Amino acid sequence: MSAPHSQIAAAFLRRKAAWTPLEAGLWCLALAAAFLFPSQQLLLSEIAILALFALSLDLIVGYAGILSLGHAAFFGVGAYTAGLFSLHVSAEPLTGLAVSAVVAGLLGLATSFLVLRGSDLTRLMTTFGVSMLLAEGANQAAWLTGGADGLSGILLEPIAGTFEFDLWGRTGYLYCLAVLFILLLVARRIVHSPFGLSLKAIKRNSRRAAMLGIAPNRRIVIIYTISALYAGMAGALLTQTTSFVSPDVLAFHRSADVLLVLVLGGVGYLYGGIVGAVIFTLLRAWLSVVTPQYWMFWIGLILVALVVIGRDRLHPARAIALVRSRLPGRAGEKAVPLSEDSR
């Protein structure tokens, strides 16, 4: 009659990690955008890069519970590495991307020890401090970074020797989208793994996690390093699609913006960064036309509204999940929280 419990368990776990139609639709739309909006490819690239940056932040904020106000450190280091690499070593974009990832990842590994202990506030301050150190360092080391002028004249070869960057930026957008897609697949795999589950446990209840024998430090070092790697690649993509690095890549507002993007889109379900990046970039583009001076005001207002009203009630994905769970005969799916932090 009813299936054995081990089969029910396996089916449940499989369903929880499965692709949803919503997810698939989003990617189709993102791909279609490359052809539907030929004049907006630069804006689309910007969205994809911001989405990747916010995804990298989600890995530590949403899954490990580590707040950062200095995530631009890794973004900026990735951006500078990509610029320097293409100027001095090789102008092949994929190699540059990989090298930037490694350099940012190493920086993440080296600084991860600063976020192992302490409260949210101390973590905010140490991450903020690290990014300020780097920003000032980049500014001072003008011989390497070009100082306040940044790095320009970055010319890139075709990607993998085949795909030429075009004037309209379509290759650039497709390149960013492909990187975002692959890294999202990897992140998806990580959060649905035993390792990902242990991160959730550490974030939700560290006392019990310790009593299950989970040593948290190594897990946090690993996810922080991966997150830094992701952020570094986002920075590298910015350099490669704009052929330019300015000191702005390390600026404080970047760290603040990406946190804002993540909060806009929702923390802890992987797509928050993408949703947030779309909303944030389109809103900024639109508001800066409508009310050029006051667009920050409106963004601020939306942020406050989100926090006060509660994102759960505004969040489209969450709302769909809620409606779905209320439909009769689908009680089993009630257990699929789209936004894990909905407490």
| Residue ranges in contact with other proteins by CB under 8 A | 4-6, 8-10, 12-14, 16-17, 186, 189-190, 192-198, 200-201, 204-205, 207-208, 210-215, 218-219, 222, 332, 334-335, 337, 340, 342-343
Q: Which is nearer to other proteins, 148 or 319 (CB)?
A: 319
Q: Which is nearer to other proteins, 44 or 199 (CB)?
A: 199
Rounded to the nearest 10°, the torsion over CA 231, 237, 242, 244 is 60
In whole angstroms, the minimum distance from the beta carbon of 178 to other proteins comes to 20
Q: Which is nearer to other proteins, 9 or 303 (CB)?
A: 9
Between 272-290 and 41-58, two packed helices, what is the crossing angle to 10 degrees? 140
Instruction: Please answer whether residues 53 and 280 qualify as being in contact, where contact means their C-beta atoms are separated by less than 8 angstroms.
Output: no
Q: Which is nearer to other proteins, 212 or 282 (CB)?
A: 212
Rounded to the nearest 10°, the torsion over CA 12, 14, 16, 22 is -130
In whole angstroms, the minimum distance from the beta carbon of 278 to other proteins comes to 26
In whole angstroms, the minimum distance from the beta carbon of 198 to other proteins comes to 5
In whole angstroms, the minimum distance from the beta carbon of 267 to other proteins comes to 13
| Angstrom distance (rounded) from CA 75 to CA 154 | 18
Q: Which is nearer to other proteins, 82 or 223 (CB)?
A: 223
Quickly tell me which residue has 């929880």 as its tokens.
16
Instruction: Please answer whether residues 199 and 219 qualify as being in contact, where contact means their C-beta atoms are separated by less than 8 angstroms.
Output: yes
Quickly tell me which residue has 């603040």 as its tokens.
256
| Angstrom distance (rounded) from CA 295 to CA 281 | 12
Which residue in 234, 215, 208 sits closest to 59, CA to CA?
A: 234
In whole angstroms, the minimum distance from the beta carbon of 203 to other proteins comes to 10
